[in-house]
Amino acid sequence: MPEGDTVFRASRSMRKALVGRVMTSTDFRVPQHATADLSGRTVTEVVPRGKHMLTRTDAGVTLHTHFKMEGTWHLYKPETKWRGGPAHEIRAILGNDEWTAVGYRLAIVELLPTAEEHRAVGHLGPDLLGPDWDLDDALARINAKPDLAIGEALLDQRNLAGIGNIYKNETLFLKGLHPWTPVNQVKDLAGVVTLAQKLLKLNCEHWSQSTTGNTAPGERRWVISRGGQPCRRCGTRIVTGMQGDPLVARFTYWCPHCQPER
Ligand SMILES: [Zn+2]
């Protein structure tokens, strides 16, 4: 499940493989860009913004992609077999002499002028993993809706960018917060945001997305995807519910003992 840390790591790999190199082939498998061709152009930068990735070129054109739930970029050497999924799931291909980057199941594949990137990512709050992270700005944005449930506020990328369902659930467990606690009743909002950022940063270094510190399969999470199983701290069964507007509602997991409703 891609979150800010996944996009951050993917961007780092893409940067190493693509930046400073001339593209020898490109293929955008979305109707609006089916005939676009950026071959002959050089990739100048790959930038993660929350769950968005911006691949900039010297054509003054940026490729904007979004990972959503299932998206991923794979990098292949010429002799390697492509293993990211069936061909119909490929949304974009960027090739140079050494590497081919293949984007599978990307929710957004959009070419836009680099000068107009704000159209794609301008709505995002401060990026938890970005160089311009601004805690005060993020807190102000969250506090602007004081009655909203903290679980919803953390997922809203307009407040702060990078937290997905995993880090939302795990952070709330570690802070002993019931997911429906209104923002204005969260005593240490800065501590909540800072902990989510810490978990994301720790996982920028490896792919396991462990929040427990244990990387063994089945031991990586405190509550998420553990509905009905015993809490690792107190043994109470983890419960689940849907949180958020019906159109965007996500499964939420919590321990009724460690995260009591106040
Ligand atoms: Zn518990």
How confident is the chain (262 residues) per 10-residue block, as mean pLDDT? 84 97 97 94 94 95 92 93 94 97 96 94 92 94 97 95 94 98 97 96 81 90 96 98 88 97 86
| Centre of ligand 1 from the C-alpha of residue 1, in Å | 24
| Centre of ligand 1 from the C-alpha of residue 161, in Å | 28
Which is nearest to 125 in space by CA: 174, 155, 160? Answer: 160
Residues with Cβ–ion distance below 5 A, ligand 1: 231, 233-234, 236, 255, 257-258
pLDDT recorded at residue 1: 62
Buried b vs exposed e over 53-85: b needs ≥16 C-beta within 10 Å? bbbbbeeebbbbbbbeeebbbbbbeeeeeeebe
Q: Which residues are catalytic?
A: 2-3, 51, 250
Whether this prediction's pTM lies above 0.85 is answered by: no
| Centre of ligand 1 from the C-alpha of residue 261, in Å | 13
| Centre of ligand 1 from the C-alpha of residue 262, in Å | 15
| Centre of ligand 1 from the C-alpha of residue 256, in Å | 7
Which is nearest to 19 in space by CA: 49, 42, 47, 37? Answer: 42
